[in-house]
Amino acid sequence: MKKASIIKRSTLILAILGQANIALAEDWTRSVALGLGSKQLDSRLWQRADEQDSISLIADIGKASWPVSIAVDLHGTGIDKSDSADPYEGYTAELHLGVRRAWDIGGSGFQFYAGGGLAFGYAETKFEANPELSGDGRGTGYWAGLGLRYRINQRFSVGTDFRYADFDIKHLDDSDTSGSRQFSITGTYHW
């Protein structure tokens, strides 16, 4: 159920970005990356569900003359061990809004980038053997990230994305910081 919601939201963002392409003049730059990787959560509330698979949409839009681009990133993570002897599940969904700056590394085809901004997150855990740890919540905070990509041609690049996000989340009447580290392999389309 949560994965279907993440896919619906991701499809909506792609549709919006596609429509934005029609309205933008030639001096605008845009890119969208699909990232696949893993996420490690710091929060004590996660117990065994603290390592999750992740999928991300990492988008940039800006004018060629701007020193930074606007970053709009969606991240969904999850682990589902509901069929195990000790069943548990954990999911997160995050929206990262901010700015990102990229630097070309000589004429090598490599590009380094860094960014940061606001993080909006949702988290859910379910522990059948320990239901008092189960619950969900929403929170806001910040994110910071770094990446390296290699431009295969004018339209496509492959790379890595590493980021840290931290937000306070209200979980079962207990406020807790949900910090996380996420690493992804990315494929990017530029236009």
**128 confidence band (pLDDT: 50, 70, 90):** confident
Report yes or no on whether pTM surpasses 0.75: yes
- Written as six digits, the tokens of 165 are 């996000």
Which alpha helices (DSSP H) does the chain contain, by range? 2-23
Q: Is the pLDDT of residue 172 over 60?
A: no
37-90 tens-digit pLDDT: 999 887 666 667 788 999 999 999 999 899 999 999 999 999 998 888 888 888
Task: Please compute the mean of the pLDDT values over residues 3-21 and round it to a whole number.
Answer: 64
The predicted pLDDT at position 64 comes to: 87
Per-residue model confidence as pLDDT tens digits over 105-121: 998 999 999 999 999 98
Mean pLDDT of 13-42: 77
Helix/strand/coil for 158: strand
Dihedral angle, C-alpha 121, 135, 80, 88, nearest 10 ° = 150
Token pair listed for 5: 């919601």
Query: Would you say 162 and 180 are in contact if contact means Cβ atoms under 8 Å apart?
Result: no
For domain 2-190, is the CATH number 2.40.160.20?
yes
Distance, CA of 85 to CA of 190 (rounded, Å): 45
> Mean pLDDT for the chain?
85
- State residue 1's pLDDT score: 53
Confidence of residue 177 (pLDDT cuts 50, 70, 90): low
DSSP, collapsed to helix, strand or coil, labels residue 16 as: helix
Closest CA to 32 of 54, 8, 11, 6: 11
